[in-house]
Amino acid sequence: MPSCHITVPQNLALQPHPIARNKTVAVTKLSAGTTILTVPCLCKVLLPAEKSLRCDFCLCIPDPNQNALRRCTGCISYWYCDTKCQLAHWRTHKKYCKNFNKYSASRQFSQLESYEKLDMMLLTHLLAELSARDAEETDITEVDTFRSLLPGPVSERISLLTCPLTTNYKPHANPGELFSRFGRNNFVIHSHFTTIAHGIFPLASRLFNHSCLPNAIAKYILTPAAEVQMTVVVIRDVSPDEEILIPYVDPALLETRQKMFKFTYGFTCTCASCRALDNIMSHQSLIDLEDISTHCAALRRHVFPTVTSDNPIISLPDTPPDLNNVPPELQDILQESLLAKLCELFRNASHDGPVEVAQETGLAVLAFYVLIYPPNYPQIGMHALEMAKTAWNAIITSESAGSLNEISRTSLLKQARACLGLSRHILDKVGSEGDAGGPLVEMQVLNGLLKSEANRKGGVNLNGYVLREVSARFTRYLAGKRTEYVRFKRKV
Ligand SMILES: C[S@@+](CC[C@H](N)C(=O)[O-])C[C@H]1O[C@@H](n2cnc3c(N)ncnc32)[C@H](O)[C@@H]1O
């Protein structure tokens, strides 16, 4: 494996790790919300579902008030905000534009699994980037860092594949050697915590190991006409010498996450959450997952014992969850499929009612998250925001149907304010990320609506604004979709 000097940010230090080669520790105390690293993207590829919806250069969604995306007339397979983005991308796109369609329609390509297709496209983009850097004689520190990353196995079938490059480019490393770094090191790029692309951020890969109870998270900054950047933010106070750990996969994938560590990353996670979960899963009894009300009640009783419709104030723990303390009847329901079911029920009911179902399942999802995720994990904040918007929408829709009494209004308003407070507490630490708009703007809008509601005089509806966009992201947050482009089975 090529050695390479790594320049580590000032407040961090690289130290030996017994299994994972190196670990990165804090040098000084870091408080929650501190950005510890911002790095450029070496190259990236949009998920097929995002193609033609986002710019292939800057990954942004076009402003609806401006022109639609322009298509590359050469391959008609790449889309751009405007000439500026297209020209910026042409630096590398010209290296495969002409051969792209023949390649993507080829038998060898169509026989690949979806994650393999995505990887081959990423490899093509990487080779084109290396070729451009070679020609430009630009700084190759990032490339050297990428080549020094821990490799994983590559199947012979994959190493025999070619990329649609128009010139016979022989980069510093052969394609197989580059490809072998993908599985253990690449990142999913997300906007508002929904995956949109895969990308290579070499320094971040080199620095951070995984934990299912992380103290930091990666977020992505999308700027029109600029390359995407990754930023790593600590989500709780970190002491000097403490290792900085990020989640490689969503810790809520209770059953699949260990398989992903094994097959994709080549290690067994031994964090406190995985150790407790292994024990729980070896004792789980069969339960009726369809008995939703019973499971919702059990989750609420254990996690939020004081929350009722009269007292909807939810407080979240500020210490990491310990699954060893979960009572046996709850241990049986700690299942990924139940969480997916609860998310789906919440999404449907928060759109179409009944509001009681949205409240019951929404609180159960929050309880589930509190049992799995560490404090300030973005998904907890995102879900609290969905619950706040759901309560707001319930006020507006039942009011316009003439079915809202004063007691329900007061309770729903309390709920909306309490949930908005929780989401602000978390998402303000995470800060802005992804596309324009998103949760920070939604929180501002809802805050304004709740304030105007507080000033409202005797029964006159000053603001009938329903936050319709509320739960669209839940449709993409169900278990199946979370793992579509992830390797589960390594075919070597
Ligand atoms: C992105 S790299 C991490 C950087 C690595 N520490 C280095 O020195 O280059 C991912 C690899 O680090 C190792 N790793 C990361 N987190 C780990 C953990 N919690 N336990 C064991 N190995 C881990 C695994 O080999 C994994 O495939």
- Which pair of tokens denotes residue 80? 């751009």
- Which pair of tokens denotes residue 91? 């630096």
Give the model's pLDDT for residue 388. 94
- Which pair of tokens denotes residue 123? 């490899």
Domain boundaries, the chain: 12-248, 258-490
Helix (H, G, I), strand (E, B) or coil at 435: coil
Q: What are the helix and strand counts (H, E) for the chain?
A: 19, 12
Q: How far is the CA of 355 from the centre of ligand 1 (A)?
A: 44
What predicted TM-score, i.e. pTM, was given to this entire model? 0.92
**Distance in angstroms between the alpha carbons of the first and the last residue of the chain:** 20
Q: Return the CATH class of domain 12-248.
A: mainly beta
Q: How far is the CA of 6 from the centre of ligand 1 (A)?
A: 16
DSSP sequence for 288-331: -TT-HHHHHHHHHHHH-TT--SS-------SS---GGGS-HHHH
- Cβ of residue 361 lying under 6 Å from some atom of ligand 1: no
Q: Where are the alpha helices (DSSP H) in 316-376?
A: 328-331, 336-352, 355-372
Q: How far is the CA of 192 from the centre of ligand 1 (A)?
A: 26
Give the model's pLDDT for residue 482. 38
What is the pairing mode between strands 216-221 and 229-234?
Answer: antiparallel
Q: Which helix (H) or strand (E) holds 412?
A: helix 406-430
Closest CA to ligand 1's atom 26: 265
Q: What is the pLDDT along the chain (492 residues), one digit of tens a residue?
A: 666 788 899 999 999 999 999 999 999 999 999 999 999 999 999 999 999 999 999 999 998 888 899 999 999 999 999 999 999 999 999 999 999 999 999 998 999 989 899 999 999 999 999 999 988 877 788 999 999 999 998 887 777 788 898 877 666 668 888 999 999 999 999 999 889 999 999 999 999 999 999 999 999 999 999 999 999 999 999 999 999 999 999 999 999 999 999 988 999 999 999 999 999 999 888 888 889 999 999 999 999 999 987 788 899 999 999 999 999 889 999 999 999 999 999 988 988 889 899 999 999 999 999 999 999 999 999 999 999 999 988 888 877 777 777 778 888 999 999 999 999 999 999 999 999 888 999 999 999 989 887 666 443 333 444 544 443 333 333 333 334 444 443 333
Q: How far is the CA of 267 from the centre of ligand 1 (A)?
A: 8
Q: How far is the CA of 209 from the centre of ligand 1 (A)?
A: 5
- Tokens 């508002």 label which residue? 192
Q: Which helix (H) or strand (E) holds 198?
A: strand 194-200
- Cβ of residue 181 lying under 6 Å from some atom of ligand 1: no
Asked if the interface predicted TM-score (ipTM) of this complex is over 0.90, the answer is: yes
- Tokens 């298509």 label which residue? 71
Contact 291, 43 (CB under 8 A): no
Give the model's pLDDT for residue 3. 66
Ligand 1 pocket test target in 267, 268, 270 with most atoms within 8 Å of CB: 267
Q: How many CB atoms lie within 10 A of CB 29?
A: 12
Fold for the domain defined by 258-490: 1.25.40
Phi, psi of 39 (to 5 degrees): -130, 150
Q: How far is the CA of 257 from the centre of ligand 1 (A)?
A: 15
| Ligand 1 atom closest to residue 265's alpha carbon, by position in its atom list | 27
| Ligand 1 atom closest to residue 271's alpha carbon, by position in its atom list | 19
Closest CA to ligand 1's atom 22: 20
Q: How many CB atoms lie within 10 A of CB 286?
A: 6
